[in-house]
Structure 1
């Protein structure tokens, strides 16, 4: 801890070392007795996360959050306690990291889209939450070998798909590369090992290429009387592997396996260095990018050029100033960097508020979860190219974009009427991939309409959404007829009928307007039959690691017992609060339980609680009031549907019997809130169920 505090003091002499030390002691005490998979004390993990962020020269609140980021989640600590001890700012950050930890970003597409929305909401509230989460994932990946093989693969896939691209999108390229390479080591160890062996063989054959080329660059800079730093490195194995896949080339034919950087004193020297490099070595056509005059949206500025260096080897050289380099290393995190006790005023650091606003601006325009995910993945995973309109206006597009994407980026009407394009004055096919700095002219014609083949040509979410909307409108009736047949087959495969009510219920769950819209998307292949079936009849799967029912609630004092309130019957996944009762321990209520109104003024009895994260056993009884048709076999089918969701009926009582309908109170034993929703959803989809709701009775004794 002393070393960490000393390191922080080197860049922030005004840091509150007392508060940081108090956070260290509090975190160590709360995690005492807990161990990681490796056998190390658990608190070594939060401490290592804090060290990662200290190396990024971040503020006290972020460092303290790192030390405490698992306390609310995994110990008896509470938001209130953290707020009282370390301030509301830290408590909000710790709470934000806790909520992110519970997001399943690699789950099914519908849930993934909703969780990505929550991720970006957390980012917009305070970007430091994401910085702590990324540092948390970085240390977990560094120690991943202690986990079970299946968990290693799961975490590595999630890292490769979500966290590494997010780090890159935030400008922290070093973290992206390290995350990718560690995930690559787990997911494809043979490929990584092969690249490492070839690197060693290449180094043995040609000597230390990095030192030789760095020496050449320094010599040329000295000859031109330019003061600058120059250094080089071998590119990460995953970066090389990705280029081999993209270019369909073998390692021996891949040219730029080394990268070099030149750090100058000012912007003018960047262009002087570029001139020196191009005079000394031959530039490779099409491999020049000027991110100084056209910065990336995350603040990244640099000049990139690839040249044929010593012995004809192609090498990439990046040229930037010291301030640009700091942003290139820290990305958006540069906004919170400290030096000499004050925030660094780096003119190139992007205001995180503006950055996240620009990032999320187009997301909210998405009509459904699939379009939202398209926007997210394009923004997170794609590098950008900058093209120009005939008037000289800049249009930003993702790498791989076509003239059609360009047309739709200008206006939907221009995209719909596009019949051709000219790039740099030459007529090109609509599927041509655009490059940086090209000028694009779109040709249009009245009466032209989007073609079905255009979907495969464009890459932007905006273009795809506009084309689909036009195609849906034109072919809607045909798609609805086809979709109805596809739905019938899909439902019959699981022994169900595609009734209008079942389709309407599925449409509601998929956030579509109505069942006709659902059928149209089925017919146009935007939805698969299994997507609809999965929404209505998900297979319940329980992990072997089931939480002990007696330890389901976090926040109780040692040996303190609890009971679920009978009035509101809370289940895992719901927000809860405890009420202390003399002789009864703590009674757990749902946060919206009406019984709590009478206890509002008796705050001394309230206990801050939350459910333990993980898989709970199906022991939480919930009462459901179901109104069903009074027909033969209906009640039996309802019981069967509940059983198919792996939920047990512990009691069943008739409340009201009419000639045409029954009202039945069914007590069902469930795992959690998601299990409850699955049971209610499958019942609601049945055509003989008139209504279903959760039954709560304040007259029941808590």
Structure 2
């Protein structure tokens, strides 16, 4: 553990003007506040914030960040308050400490919800000051270094999984590759222990049998570049076990089939020498087509700049080479942290483009599961580059489509898109973009996001925006249905219902406004009896105890038919109570009841039309849905589970189309009314197993 004077000397070494007194006060403060607290290792607890502060000095960060690192656990784990921090160390440090502090209530939440709430808090704090994330990443890195002291295997696995799924990708997104690699390595051994041991042993065998091959290749590269008059440094290393395992999983290959286990780094004097070195290497050795990437002319979103190429060395050995300047190397390894070094005058404003997208996702996600899904999509790597017709560059994940591109440009553009041109050709919206594509978005003012887009978009921003738009549309439809049902309820009340009665009903039912009332009625969250009583207290006194207008089990009744005339519900449109309906008088078969928007009616029918309406809302009508699932194990079971939870009787189910990776089913459901059917559709559309659910 760093001693007090050692920490101060580290800061003074790169910032002679640092406030030594404040650094000393912060060190003493954290030691006093944590007192006799112990870590799982048995070490004094204050050793942890001191080590985190040490990691911050390695990055040459400003004194406020060092003090924040020292104090980051005091509010959560001691009697100290944010007000105490502000009084002793100023408002800026207090704000940073508050951003890093984990709320105690988070620890009592379920695992997914806790992780989501933690992530939500840090994303919002990061939007104001990126140093919050830098301290948090150092905090997580030190905790991972001491994870083996935690006795519970389940807790170790949970922390490791959270690290590899959230914090390592966040480190990558701010360009802190050193942190990212070490987090991945440390987490990998707990998440995939067997794979970690196997790959580590194989790498050890290679090292033991190696007769200086890595050094020999590095020397050959340096000699070739020196002969061309270039002054360079060359170093070689083997890729770490997690990187190898990930490549094995992605390519579905064995360890023996991984040919580029070794990677070499060439450090040059300036940018021009990077390209000169690349030309030399491609002349001396054959390069592998498709494996060259120029991140100098087109940097990654996190500011990463380097040339990447793969060469075929002797005996068909594949070798990966990265070429960069010394300045690029420093910024590549430590990313945004390098910009925050104490001398830098061009500090970032704390909100880079990808971070703004994450904040938008926080606002759009309506539950923890969605937040985690959308954020993971947003922070993982593997990017491609695409351009607008005017030449603006956008980075997207591999597999991104024109829909993802449109939402990346602007949320409103994505919401209004109706088509796309890729390299001046009209292409389907599900087309996957390639590096260098020029994408033109075709839009219309009255367009809106389609639920089917969720089947192929890959960015968290697009997915969150589409789901938010679909939810808003569904709410509008349910509220519209509720308004119609409200009118029916009002007809059953003998007294006249005005605005005052409506306002009183909203208040009695504890709802926000009239729209919330209509939504509650349409979604069957409240019964007819409750609405009547809220409108006119005492109006249900004469009703039988079970005489609820939505009582299940009543036979379907139709108003507008002559007594004794038979009817049946048309199978072309499957009308259910709540639909606007008309009757078609058929010879020898009574009256056929259709939904008003039935395609059969639109095609023209010569028979007599009857203006009909539903009697009391009732169960027994059959609605037909077309549900498209991801064709994977458990998807059908998840669909039927949703139907069971919504108390629906499945009359028939049939597979109608298979189009990998999707499978479409037609399902006939016996439902109570349109509100019941709408709830079922909403539940299906919210499932990750379902890519599309429509009534037909």
Match of 2:333?
329
Range 55-64 or range 433-442, more displaced: 433-442
SS of the residue corresponding to residue 435 of structure 1 reads: coil
State the partner residue of 1:216: 220
1:116 aligns with 2:115: no
What corresponds to 1:288 in structure 2? Answer: 292
Structure 1's 427 and 101: CA in aligned 2 closer, same or farther, altered over 3 A?
same
Separation in structure 1 between the aligned mates of residue 304 and residue 108 of structure 2, nearest angstrom: 27
User: What secondary structure does 1:318 align onto?
Assistant: strand
3-state secondary structure, aligned to 1:287: coil
Residue 144 in 1 paired to residue 147 in 2?
A: yes
The 1-side partners of 2:89 and 2:468 are apart by 51
State the alpha-carbon separation in 1 of the partners of residues 330 and 108 from structure 2: 30
1:153-190 Cα offsets, whole Å, 9 max, x none, are 12112212221111111111110111111111111111
Picking from 316, 330, 352, the partner of 2:350 is: 352
Give the direction of change, closer, same or farther, for the CA distance of 1:43–1:405 in structure 2 (3 Å limit): closer
> How far did 1:144 drift?
0.8
Task: Write the distance in 2 (CA, Å) between the matches of 1:475 and 1:73.
Answer: 41
1:14 to partner: Cα distance: 2.7
CA distance in 2, matches of 1:413, 1:80: 44
Distance 1:232 1:516, change over 3 A: farther
- Pair 1:369–1:471, CA change in 2 (3 A): closer
Does the residue aligned with 2:287 lie in a helix, a strand or coil? Answer: strand
1:236 alignment counterpart: 240
* Alpha-carbon distance change, 473 to 142 in structure 1, aligned in 2, over 3 angstroms: closer
Residue 7 (structure 1) aligns with: 10
Tell whether the 8 Å contact from 2:358 to 2:461 is kept in structure 1 after alignment: no
Question: Would the alpha carbon gap of residues 359 and 298 (structure 1) be closer, same or farther in structure 2, given more than 3 Å must change?
Answer: farther
Q: Which is bigger in relative contact order (C-alpha 8 A, separation at least 6)?
A: 1
Question: Could you say which structure has the larger radius of gyration?
Answer: 2
- RMSD value over aligned CA atoms? 4.3
TM-score normalised by structure 2 residue count: 0.62
**Cα 1:472–1:135, aligned 2, differ >3 Å: closer, same or farther?**
closer
State the shift of 1:84 in Å: 3.9
Change beyond 3 A, Cα 1:42–1:446 = closer
Partner of 2:170: 166
Partner of 2:396: 397
Verify the 8 A CA contact 1:105 1:115 in the aligned structure 2.
no
Deviations 1:411-444 (A, max 9, x none): 7678876567545x78876544323223346689
Separation in structure 1 between the aligned mates of residue 239 and residue 67 of structure 2, nearest angstrom: 34
Residue 97 of structure 1, aligned match among 82, 96, 100: 100
Distance 2:414 2:131 in 1: 40
Q: Would you say the 8 A contact 2:415–2:447 is kept in 1?
A: no
**Partners in 2 of 1:125 and 1:408 — Cα distance?**
23
Unaligned regions of 5+ residues in structure 1, if any? 483-499, 524-528, 530-627, 632-702
Does the 8 Å contact 1:172/1:329 carry over to 2?
yes
| Partner SS, residue 236 of structure 2 | strand
Partner residue of 1:368 out of 347, 366, 369: 366
Unaligned segments of structure 2, at least 5 residues: 482-504, 526-536, 541-696
Matched, 1:44 2:47: yes
Q: Find the aligned partners of 1:65 and 1:268 in 2 and give their Cα distance.
A: 40
Question: 1:284 Cα shift?
Answer: 1.9
Task: Determine the C-alpha separation between the residues in 1 that align with 2:84 and 2:470.
Answer: 56
Change in Cα spacing, 1:456 to 1:205, as seen in structure 2 (3 Å) is farther
Question: How far apart are the structure 1 equivalents of 2:246 and 2:468?
Answer: 34
**TM-score, normalised by the number of residues in structure 1:** 0.62
- Provide the aligned length of Structure 1 versus Structure 2: 500
1:309 matched to which residue of 2?
313
**Distance in 1 between residues matched to 2:184 and 2:61, nearest whole Å:** 23
Per the alignment, residue 54 of structure 1 pairs with: 57
**Contact 2:378–2:459 (CA under 8 A) maintained in structure 1:** no
CA–CA separation in structure 1 for the residues paired with 2:108 and 2:295 = 32
Q: Secondary structure at the match of 2:43?
A: coil
Displacement of 1:32: 2.9
What whole-Å deviation, never above 9, does each CA across 1:217-241 have from its counterpart, x for those lacking one? 2112211111222222222211221
| Counterpart contact for 2:127–2:359, Cα < 8 Å | no
Contact kept, 8 Å, 1:69 with 1:94, in 2: the verdict is yes
Aligned counterparts of 1:6 and 1:450: Cα–Cα separation in 2: 57
Q: Secondary structure, in 3 states, of the residue corresponding to 2:291?
A: strand
Which residue is equivalent to 2:459?
460
Matches of 2:315 and 2:135, distance apart in 1: 44
Post-superposition Cα deviations, 1:89-147, rounded to whole Å, max 9, x if no partner, equal 33333333224676469956667655533222211333222222211111111111111
Provide the secondary structure at the position in 1 that maps to 2:101: helix
Match status 1:438 vs 2:441: no
1:446/1:211 CA distance change after superposition, 3 Å: same
Is the contact made by 2:99 and 2:122 (CA closer than 8 Å) also made in structure 1? Answer: no
Distance 1:205 1:159, change over 3 A: same
Q: State the 1:368 CA deviation.
A: 3.5
Provide the C-alpha distance between the structure 1 equivalents of 2:353 and 2:431, rounded to a whole number of angstroms: 30
For 2:416 and 2:264, the matched residues in 1 are separated by 44
SS in 1 for 2:38: coil
